[in-house]
Amino acid sequence: MELTKDQQQTIDLALSILEGLYQRESLQATDPERVKQYCRLNLAHLEHEVFAVLLLDQKHRLISFETLFRGTIDGASVYPREVAKIVLQANAAAVILSHNHPSGIAEPSRADLAITQRLIEVLRLLEVRVLDHIIVGADYAYSFAQHGKL
């Protein structure tokens, strides 16, 4: 379904209001349900795949949510070098990876598993922990950590 300009503006306004509820002090990575809710808020409405990262401080509080790559309806290219660059610029101690599946099905693909492992390896060299990878579908979000995939 293609959104009209007015619908997209309404969604963008709602997102900015709701994001105000998730201040740096209030979104802790120790609450996986809240993190999944936050990722759904930012990604579930998109009709193209987007790969993002939640940058976290030493106490696992949100520094920022950064959309790094935009793809098509069935994939997005992810470049570990660019992920590492944004992590270092933010001086993040940990990250949560996230992307959406416009198909609506939040189960990880082989490519999702492979890029997650690659990013874990790259970020480990920088002493940055990957706490989770959240895949956002239409009705729910899948957590790698909750399913023992990290």
Task: Count the neighbouring beta carbons within 10 Å of the beta carbon of residue 4.
Answer: 8
Where in the sequence is the domain holding 26, given as residue range(s)? 5-143
Count Cα atoms within 13 angstroms, Cβ side, for 104: 3
Instruction: Please tell me the total count of domains within the chain.
Output: 1
117 is a domain residue: yes
Is the per-residue pLDDT at 68 higher than 60?
yes
**Within a domain: residue 148?**
no
Query: What is the rounded CA–CA span in Å between residue 103 and residue 138?
Result: 8
Which CATH number do you get for residue 58?
3.40.140.10
Residue 65 has pLDDT above 80, yes or no: yes
Tokens of residue 68, six digits: 């790094």
Average pLDDT, the chain: 87
**pLDDT tens track for 79-99:** 999 999 999 999 999 999 999
pLDDT, one tens digit per residue, over 21-53 is 555 445 667 778 889 988 998 898 888 999 999
Residue of 72, 68, 13 whose CA lies nearest to 47: 72
In a domain, 150, yes or no: no
Q: Evaluate whether residue 149 is within a structural domain.
A: no
Task: Let me know if residue 113 belongs to a domain.
Answer: yes
Instruction: Note the pTM of the prediction, 2 decimals.
Output: 0.82
Please tell me the predicted confidence (pLDDT) of residue 91.
Answer: 97
Looking at residue 81, its amino acid is R
Amino acid, single-letter form, for residue 75: G
Are 39 and 136 contacting, i.e. CB atoms less than 8 angstroms apart? Answer: yes
